[in-house]
């Protein structure tokens, strides 16, 4: 799959299922200003609580109906019934609607990454192709609690250098003088990275 960022403002999402997976997806979609319709035989209390506080989500505590797919841009099938999830994806594709199957990523049109922001400019995504969401979570924690400070300092140097049109030699020296990545092995890696920048003009 190709990792891309899409503006989903006001895009209509159908989520079939009412458990933990549905809850996580709902939160992400609403944070990105999507509009959500939730259908499920049993809807968890956390989802109902979200529904009470957010006008961009509608909840229907009942079985899935094919007509639920009408006027939908994206579909997430995350019930505990694998056969039902497969059916939802099949029906979605008949209507050219992109669908994600929580029980089988191999037949999904898209998947969710573990994403987090370092600041307003930098967003990092980690994806294991559905094989280990827990690993993605560990990576997110590692960045947020261990690497964030140094990475933001490095970003500040590179952003300023690009604005000032500093040469690569000067950029290299600024990074090495900053005290970031102090160990020798890291310094050698920084130099390699800077050489790679020549290809992309950083």
**What is the distance between the alpha carbons of residues 141 and 164, in angstroms, rounded to a whole number?**
33
**What is the distance between the alpha carbons of residues 155 and 152, in angstroms, rounded to a whole number?**
5
Do 85 and 149 fall into the same domain? no
Task: Give the model's pLDDT for residue 193.
Answer: 53
Q: For residue 75, give the CATH number of its domain.
A: 3.40.50.720
Do 125 and 174 fall into the same domain? yes
Task: Give the model's pLDDT for residue 195.
Answer: 59
Tell me how many domains the chain contains: 2
Low-confidence stretches of the chain (pLDDT < 50) are 184-185, 202
Task: Give the model's pLDDT for residue 97.
Answer: 98
Do 106 and 134 fall into the same domain? no
**What is the distance between the alpha carbons of residues 50 and 4, in angstroms, rounded to a whole number?**
27
Q: Is residue 194 situated within a structural domain?
A: yes
Q: Where are the beta strands (DSSP E) in 42-187?
A: 57-61, 74-77, 98-101, 114-117, 123-126
| Residue 16 structural domain | 12-112
Q: Is residue 4 situated within a structural domain?
A: no
Report pLDDT digits (tens) over 12-27: 999 999 999 999 999 9
Q: Is residue 7 situated within a structural domain?
A: no
Q: Is residue 1 situated within a structural domain?
A: no
**What is the distance between the alpha carbons of residues 109 and 126, in angstroms, rounded to a whole number?**
18
Task: Give the model's pLDDT for residue 126.
Answer: 79
Q: Which of 33, 30, 14 is nearest to 74 (CA)?
A: 14
**What is the distance between the alpha carbons of residues 186 and 202, in angstroms, rounded to a whole number?**
19
pTM (predicted TM-score): 0.73
The burial of 18, by beta-carbon neighbours within 10 Å (0-12 exposed, 13-18 middle, 19 or more buried), is given as buried
Examine the fold and report which residue of 92, 112, 132 is the final residue of a domain before the chain moves on.
112
Report pLDDT digits (tens) over 56-80: 999 999 999 999 999 999 999 999 9
Examine the fold and report which residue of 84, 112, 140 is the final residue of a domain before the chain moves on.
112
**Interacting residues of 139 by C-beta distance below 8 A, sequence separation 6+:** 114, 126
């Amino acid at each position: 799959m190709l990792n891309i960022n899409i503006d989903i403002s006001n895009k209509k999402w159908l989520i079939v299922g009412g458990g933990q997976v549905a809850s996580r997806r709902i939160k992400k979609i609403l944070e990105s200003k999507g509009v959500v319709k939730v259908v499920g035989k049993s809807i968890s209390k956390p989802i109902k609580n979200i529904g009470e506080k957010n006008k961009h989500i509608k909840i229907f505590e009942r079985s899935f109906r094919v007509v639920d797919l009408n006027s939908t841009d994206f579909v997430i099938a995350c019930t505990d019934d694998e056969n039902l999830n497969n059916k939802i994806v099949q029906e979605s594709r008949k209507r050219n609607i992109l669908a994600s199957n929580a029980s089988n990523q191999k037949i999904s049109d898209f998947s969710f990454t573990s994403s987090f922001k370092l600041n307003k400019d930098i967003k990092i995504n980690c994806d294991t192709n559905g094989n280990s969401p827990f690993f993605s979570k560990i990576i997110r924690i590692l960045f947020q609690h261990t690497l964030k400070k140094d990475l933001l300092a490095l970003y500040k140097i590179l952003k300023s250098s690009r604005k000032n049109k500093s040469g690569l030699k000067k950029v290299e020296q600024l990074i090495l003088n900053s005290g970031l990545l102090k160990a020798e092995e890291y310094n050698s890696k920084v130099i390699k990275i800077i050489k790679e920048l020549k290809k992309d003009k950083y």
